Amino acid sequence: MGSTSDRTEHEGPGRRDLIKRSAALGLITVPAMGFLSACATGGGGSSQAAPSGGAVGQKTDKNPLGVKEGAPLEAFIFKGGLGDQYAKDAEADYTSTYKAQVKHTGTQQVGPKLTPRFAGGNPPDVIDNSGADHLDMNKLSTQGQLQDLAALLDAASLDDPAKKVRDTIHPSTIEKGKHGDKFDVLYYAFTIYGTWYSQKLLDSKGWAYPKTLDEMVKLCGEIKKAGIAPWTYAGKFPYYVHFNLFAQIAKIGGMEKWIAIDNLEPGAWTSNDAVREVVEHYEELAAKGYFLEGSQGLTHIQSQTAWNKGKAVFIPNGSWVENESAPTTPQDFGMAVGALFDGTGDKMPHGTLRAEPSEPYIVSARGKNPVGGMELLRIMLSKKHAQNFATKVKSLTCVMDATEGMTLSPGLASASKVFKEAGDNLISLQLQEWYPALTDEKIGGLTGQLLVGELKAADWIKKTQAEADKVARDSSVTKFKRTA
């Protein structure tokens, strides 16, 4: 189904590069080191629920948004681990329905190419804002550049006119896509985050996926004795480890305490016992040599390749990994994902999973055809195109139950299984979406040091709190607040 956080990016659902960024016209986060293939997703001004300009046609039962027939549409799609064919397929249906030309651009450089266009008042209509060089959606929303998508939510769904679009997508999609009270980002994919592994490898060794942090440490000892590294990770981009580490904190400590972290509250890191327990767990893994040697120098692709080749058993990642690592995955690999581990006195039950919307789509409020941009998203939210997405990129969308009855690839089948088993025990985080420079660059740097034994858990916690406090005090950073 994202990603903040998801997610990424990994060249897939929305997550960002751990590298220094500089603001270009205040709209974009640009990696100074130029590694563009790593994953990324993530005051005043207003744009109304109905577009204030652009092409507008007559509303009918079959055209609930009022798309103007024949009016051109421009789509800018991040072409990373998910590719862009799924978007082209939806665009073909748009062209057929509205007899309109769709100008399509697939790129990994969304921000660099679009920053001058937003500044010049000539943005494309609909944008998949992913990748390491994504646009800063918080600033765009604050400046009134993003179309309010309330009209899309309230439009009739393509599959069942009796149902509104809002009733066909996972509720967290709406929560995740808000800036304040305005819903202006549609996270199209739905990412399952967790610990990924080869079921074939575990079965061949007689190993069972651990249920607790302690069981994981014990199993790592057995794995190491067998001559295999228990873990690897994208050391060039250590924020990948946060996909698990942050969610593990939320599971043990509870969402109320994690929300305090999302909200940059004083002492949110240092006063949370779950933070200490989880970070000390990672410190122990590092101290006992449970990470593949050289992981600190690997990109996300290199770490996934090492994992595919059986050099390591576990890797922290999101459900885009199946499609992204397909070129090096053995046919009988049996890709699978496990839920979060139990700790001490957990506030959330066994089976709790981090699963949340990812792959952010935005519509330009000042584009030439914002109504058409919303209509393209309505087409993509049909069961036909949700299933097409699952087939082509082995990932779920935010459309509920869209894959029912489908034959799924191993990784996607596993992700769907743990998602169903989790029920309502799902974790969704905002910190990486709202403050990517904090999580990916600052805290990511600390995590990198932790995993090679250069930083103790207590120092990681102290320094992470200090970095969060700096952002909280920085008046130039727009702040957001969540209550649930």
pLDDT tops 50 at residue 7 = no
Please give the DSSP secondary-structure letter assigned to residue 342: B
List all residues 6 or more positions away from 346 whose beta carbon is below 8 Å from its beta carbon. Answer: 251, 252, 352
Q: What is the mean pLDDT of residues 463-481?
A: 95
* Amino acid present at 57: G
Strands 229-231 and 312-318: parallel
From 97-101, 169-173, 366-370, 383-387, the region with the lowest mean pLDDT: 169-173
> Looking at the domain assignment, is residue 226 inside a domain?
no
Residue among 138, 174, 224, 234 nearest 435 (CA): 138
For residue 390, give its domain range. Answer: 21-190+357-406
Rounded CA separation 191/419 (Å): 10
Rounded CA separation 480/470 (Å): 15
pLDDT tops 60 at residue 472 = yes
From 44-58, 110-124, 187-201, 339-353, the region with the lowest mean pLDDT: 44-58
Domain count along the chain: 1
Q: What percent of the chain has pLDDT over 90?
A: 78
pLDDT at 53: 66
From 244-248, 421-425, 447-451, the region with the lowest mean pLDDT: 421-425
pLDDT at 35: 26
Q: Are the C-beta atoms of 173 and 305 separated by less than 8 Å?
A: no
> Looking at the domain assignment, is residue 167 inside a domain?
yes
> Looking at the domain assignment, is residue 322 inside a domain?
no
> Looking at the domain assignment, is residue 244 inside a domain?
no
> Looking at the domain assignment, is residue 441 inside a domain?
no
Q: What is the mean pLDDT of residues 442-469?
A: 98
pLDDT at 198: 98
Give residue 342's Cα distance to chain centre.
23
The predicted model scores a pTM of 0.82
pLDDT tops 50 at residue 395 = yes
pLDDT at 189: 94
CATH number at residue 125: 3.40.190.10
> Looking at the domain assignment, is residue 292 inside a domain?
no
483 vs 293: which has the higher pLDDT: 293
Q: What are 312's strand-pairing partners?
A: 229
Residue 323 zone, left/alpha/beta (φ > 0; ψ -120 to 50; rest): alpha
* Amino acid present at 189: A
pLDDT at 49: 44
Q: Give per-residue burial for 131-146: e unless 16+ CB within 10 Å, then b.
A: bbbbbbbbbbbbbbbb
> Looking at the domain assignment, is residue 38 inside a domain?
yes
Q: What is the mean pLDDT of residues 366-391?
A: 97
> Looking at the domain assignment, is residue 415 inside a domain?
no
pLDDT tens across 220-231, in order?
999 999 999 999
pLDDT at 51: 54
pLDDT tops 70 at residue 47 = no
pLDDT at 478: 85
Residue among 429, 203, 218 nearest 341 (CA): 218
Q: Which helix or strand (DSSP H or E) is residue 138 part of?
A: helix 137-142
